[in-house]
Amino acid sequence: MSNFCPIKRFDHLEFYVGNAKQAALFYSKGFGFTNTAYRGLETGYRKATSYVMEQGDICLVLSTGLSPDHEIAQSVLQHGDAIAVIALEVADAASAYRESTARGAVGAIPPTEEEDESGVFRYCAIHAYGDTLIKFVERSNYTGSFAPGFEPRQASQSNGVGLKAIDHLVANVELGAMNRWAQFFSDTMGFDLLVHFDEQTISTDYSALKSKVMQDSTGKIKLPINEPAQGKGKSQIEEYLEYNCGPGIQHVAYATNNIIETVSQLRASGIEFLRIPKTYYHNLEKRVGKIDEPIEKLAELGILVDRDQDGYLLQIFTQPVEDRPTLFFEVIERHGSQSFGEGNFKDLFEAIEREQAQRGNL
């Protein structure tokens, strides 16, 4: 039943941005990505520019529209720089489109084929939350650089800052919409509910929220969906919805095998993280048990720890990476634990609320 829309992997995330040239420098100097392919005026494409940025198995595409009426420029006007497209690799894009739309997904781009000397590249897309698209990409018959029309740039030779893969991708949706979108992933793509958090699990005075984590049949694609819950003031989800002008991607979690090394490099290149009070580290070992990493080092870098029955995890969250308090990133290192750091939710949300208060949005 759940095999009607098999997903191979995250193919890429496409960001619609105001200035892809500058964003490419931010993701390369700040986050260790390499620009591996490019499409724009110089390659004969007149409408937009796109920079393909790679690190480990992660691929980001940064795109800017070259005229005010281009859909990318329109999206940036509305949402600011944001993740507009979640691209998933499939074996058969036309089948993914047929199966998902037959089950209620709304089509955005019908099955499309592009061909050059490197083979055939197929894709299509359906609408998800807000203005976000889910794009199905079929690249098994294509050997070229990213997609037809793109020219290769630098080969991705360095290991960057050690980011390996997309661990999970979180969306914020409107009050009352979480169940509808969880059902959407279940109905149209055969995803299952992995875990459900309610406002009792995730609650401070302000930041009550509910979350359902949907995952595909392989467990490789994890998509948590948050909605705000009734609290005393404006929750972090409401702040996001206001500044993003609607639902969208809140954060991307990148997996690393060495979070201490990764975060040290990110901090050295100027990436800012949420500030966690030093008191978090008092009695940490009592709360989470024995871990391999030195607690003093984690405290120095602001890395959080959580444990469940399967093991432990280390995680950290950046400040928003746009001027609008919308998108941010997480870096996560898993030692057995497959959860999301529930034990840290309270400390984390209090840290977010301190920043929200500084922005005058609490």
Closest CB to Fe ion among 244 and 318?
A: 318
Q: Which residues have a Cβ under 8 Å from the Cβ of 15 and sit 6 or more positions away?
A: 23, 60, 61, 62, 63, 81, 82, 83, 84
Which parts of this chain interact with Fe ion (CB under 5 A)? Answer: 253, 330
Are 128 and 168 contacting, i.e. CB atoms less than 8 angstroms apart? no
Nearer to Fe ion, 103 or 346 (CB): 346
Instruction: For residue 110, count other CB atoms closer than 10 A to its CB.
Output: 10
Cα 204 to Cα 277: distance, rounded to the nearest angstrom: 16
Q: How far is the CB of 226 from Fe ion (least distance, A)?
A: 10
Shorter beta-carbon distance to Fe ion: residue 138 or 322 = 322
**CA nearest neighbour of 337 among 303, 306, 300, 315:** 306
Distance CA 3, CA 146 (A): 27
Residue 319: exposed, middle, or buried by beta-carbon count in 10 A (0-12, 13-18, 19+)?
A: middle
* DSSP percent split of the chain into helix, strand, coil, nearest 5: 25, 35, 40
CA 3 – CA 187 distance, rounded (Å):
12
* Least Å from the CB of residue 102 to Fe ion: 32
Minimum distance between the CB of residue 152 and Fe ion, rounded to whole angstroms? 33
Which residue, 40 or 343, is less far from Fe ion as judged by CB? Answer: 343
User: Which pair of tokens denotes residue 131?
Assistant: 């203005």
Closest approach of Cβ 322 to Fe ion, in Å?
18
The residue written with tokens 């949300």 in the block is 349
* 163, β-bridge pairs: 256
* Angle at 306 (CA atoms; ends 302, 312), nearest 5 degrees: 115
Beta carbon nearer to Fe ion, 124 or 237:
237
| Cβ nearer to Fe ion, comparing 208 with 313 | 313
Residue 168 beta carbon to Fe ion: minimum distance, rounded to whole angstroms: 6
Kindly state the smallest distance separating residue 307's Cβ from Fe ion, in Å.
16
Nearer to Fe ion, 36 or 203 (CB): 203
- Smallest gap, in angstroms, from Cβ of residue 209 to Fe ion? 12
